[in-house]
Amino acid sequence: MYMLKSQLLAIFPLISSLCKTSTAIITTIITTTQIQSSGSAIPISRGIGALSIEFCYILDYLGDVDSPNTFSRQLLQNIEDRLGAPPIIRIGGHTQDVARYCENCTSTLANVFVPGNDEAVNVTFGKGLFKVLNNNVPSKQQFIFGLNLGQDDVQFPLAEVVAAEKYLESKRLRSFELGNEPDFYNVQRPDGWNVQIYAQQVIDWIFQIQSDAKTPLSLQLGALAQEPIYMGNFSLVELGEIRVAATLGVVTSLSDHTYPFSICDCR
């Protein structure tokens, strides 16, 4: 009993400390194929607990090449020992949308900060990051890898996917996710940005990336955060109406973010 208690206690500080610095707590909705229209009960997936870590801070949690953060690894290992697998970690958030892969850079990950902003404004990473994801985690750890959609150049996510195929062990990859909270892109995209333009861009880019990739992609779609009416009806329902997942055929999960008080606020 004592062991059980101490293992559980070890879990909570990790989750609460991760929550403080991550942009969003992710809700991964199990793929639509698992939703039964008959209404019969579906066991809750053991993967329901997952973590989201802001891209620019991933080394703070996992350590660097050949110097793992053994504290985090042990906490994740404790969960793997209890549940059979550690919580999936999504590397993403605002800074996935400013992250670029650099084939010949020697630093694992380099952040550029500006005063008054605790999230990096530019992030550059080299192949070392994939070594960290391969080696600094428990045996069954998986990641959702956030790709750069924000900077509006398909070459950025393309380079990230090609590098991941080369350097990230396939067992580590649960899926890619293209862009963080695109329903907030009215600041980084021309006027008129809306769900239709977003949907078309995702379809075009994923087809283009898929044609350069060696293996079939697995994609988490969405990462929406706002109320649907905020910017032209962004919602998972609308993405379903536009048939994004059906057209792509590689979407394995849908994602929507929420924050304390962002839904249940008083009006």
Ligand X SMILES: *[C@@H]1O[C@H](CO)[C@@H](O)[C@H](O)[C@H]1NC(C)=O
How far apart are the C-alpha atoms of 123 and 98, rounded to whole Å? 6
Residues 6+ apart with CB under 8 A from 54: 21, 22, 23, 92, 93, 94, 95, 119
Say if CB 210 and CB 249 are below 8 A apart. no
Footprint on this chain of ligand X (rule: CB under 6 A): 103-104, 112, 114, 121-122, 233, 237-238, 241
Give the nearest distance from C-beta 227 to ligand X in angstroms. Answer: 11
Give the nearest distance from C-beta 243 to ligand X in angstroms. Answer: 11
How far apart are the C-alpha atoms of 196 and 244, rounded to whole Å? 10
How far apart are the C-alpha atoms of 213 and 161, rounded to whole Å? 7
Give the nearest distance from C-beta 87 to ligand X in angstroms. Answer: 31
Which residue shows structure tokens 């996710």? 177
Nearer to ligand X, 112 or 246 (CB): 112
Farthest-apart Cα atoms in the chain, separation: 59
Nearer to ligand X, 54 or 238 (CB): 238
Nearer to ligand X, 212 or 241 (CB): 241
Nearer to ligand X, 96 or 136 (CB): 96
